[in-house]
């Protein structure tokens, strides 16, 4: 009997506490919190727009400066006085651009992997960021091909030239000859061209192999029946992107493998040295700006994640009010 009364008493007490806690809910404050949350979201959206605009401006600025450097280099070729200075600058620039591509690719993988792990990831925003990175990668890849194509290969040039003098008589004689400067320069061009083309070709072949693996992996994933909607969208996006890139990479591989016409303008040693100074100065500034751009990509992603969390929070608050507040008008 005592046990029964004890149970009954505790039940009445719990009911009373529940009624009290319900009565103590401040519905006007709950409604106000929704308005505050909306203001918070507007502030975050404005901040995201600022980051994206800053990202666009910095990215466009980098594209223009790299474009100017590349355009300045591709119109020049080495002379007998500059030897291999211009070709080496072109090779260095192509190498730096390929390293930049690798960094972009690593950042892209980070974004895609994060989207795969988070079923609530804001896919539209992530896709826009990934698309922008893809555009930068393709711009850099096209510039690499442009640089490598502008490094002249070896031509059929006579090795020896007359140095004046000589002797002929009584059925025998000799000619005073020397190895021509033109032949020496032609040989230097050939060696440098082969080196640059080999490096670019290896990079493209590696990229093709990687893309083929990604294509096969995405196709295999899409055959699964247990994928979430988010995972399926990501894999479809990846497959379409990879198939498009494979066609571009195969075309670029052909372009860097075939002989190209040498630029018309030959640079002197002084001109080559000046170009080297301009190039090194550009690299210093571009390196800093490139790192800032990567930081902005990550900041934009972080802002997207915060916005997504805030919107989920707002939806939960509005749902609660719709179910518990008879005076709730849906935020009108």
Asked if the model's pLDDT at residue 1 lies above 70, the reply is no
Over the chain, what is the mean pLDDT?
Answer: 80
Distances (CA, A) of 294 to 82, 132, 284: 37, 12, 16
Looking at the DSSP bridge assignments, the partners of residue 175 are: 166
Query: pLDDT digit string (tens) for 27-75?
Result: 889 989 999 999 999 998 888 888 888 888 888 888 899 999 999 999 9
Query: Per residue in 274-312, is it b (16+ CB within 10 Å) or e — as a string?
Result: ebeeebeebbeebeeebeebbebbebbbebbbebbebee
The two structure tokens encoding residue 111: 């974004």
Nearest in space to 272 (alpha carbons), one of 77, 6, 137: 77
Beta pairing class for 265-267 and 76-78: parallel
- Alpha-carbon gap, residue 154 to 84, rounded angstroms: 13
- For the record, the structure tokens of 171 come out as 């059925």
Residue 151 Cα to chain centre, angstroms: 26
pLDDT of residue 36: 93
Q: Is residue 5 pLDDT above 50, yes or no?
A: no
pLDDT tens-place string over residues 167-208: 555 655 556 566 556 667 767 777 777 888 888 888 889 889
Which is higher by pLDDT, 57 or 158? 57
Integer Cα distance of 164 and 176 in angstroms: 6
Lowest mean pLDDT among 41-55, 149-163, 261-275: 149-163
- Put simply, whether the predicted model's pTM sits higher than 0.75 gets the answer no
DSSP strand E in 72-127: where? Answer: 76-78
């Amino acid at each position: 009997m005592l046990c029964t009364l004890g149970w009954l008493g505790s039940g009445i007490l719990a009911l009373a506490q529940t009624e009290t806690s319900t009565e103590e809910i401040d519905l006007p404050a709950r409604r106000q919190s929704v308005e505050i949350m909306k203001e918070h979201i507007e502030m975050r959206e404005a901040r995201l727009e600022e980051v994206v605009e800053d990202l666009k401006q910095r990215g466009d600025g980098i594209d223009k400066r790299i474009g100017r450097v590349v355009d300045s280099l591709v119109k020049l070729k080495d002379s007998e006085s500059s030897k291999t200075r211009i070709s080496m600058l072109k090779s260095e620039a192509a190498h730096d651009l390929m390293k930049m591509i690798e960094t972009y690719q690593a950042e892209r993988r980070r974004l895609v992997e994060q989207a795969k792990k988070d079923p609530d990831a804001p896919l539209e925003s992530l896709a826009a960021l990934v698309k922008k990175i893809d555009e930068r990668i393709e711009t850099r890849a096209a510039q690499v091909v442009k640089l490598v194509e502008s490094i002249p290969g070896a031509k059929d040039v006579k090795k020896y030239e007359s140095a004046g003098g000589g002797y002929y008589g009584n059925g025998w004689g000799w000619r005073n000859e020397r190895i021509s400067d033109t032949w020496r320069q032609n040989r230097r061009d050939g060696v440098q061209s082969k080196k640059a083309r080999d490096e670019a070709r290896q990079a493209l072949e590696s990229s093709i192999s990687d893309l083929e693996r990604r294509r096969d992996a995405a196709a295999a994933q899409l055959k699964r029946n247990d994928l979430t909607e988010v995972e399926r969208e990501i894999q479809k996006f990846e497959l379409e992107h990879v198939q498009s890139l494979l066609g571009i990479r195969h075309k670029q591989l052909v372009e860097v493998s075939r002989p190209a016409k040498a630029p018309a303008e030959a640079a002197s040693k002084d001109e080559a040295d000046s170009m080297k100074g301009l190039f090194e100065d550009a690299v210093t500034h571009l390196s800093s700006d490139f790192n800032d751009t990567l930081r902005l990509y990550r900041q934009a992603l972080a802002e997207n994640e915060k916005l997504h969390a805030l919107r989920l929070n707002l939806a939960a608050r509005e749902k609660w009010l719709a179910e518990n507040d008879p005076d709730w008008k849906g935020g009108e």
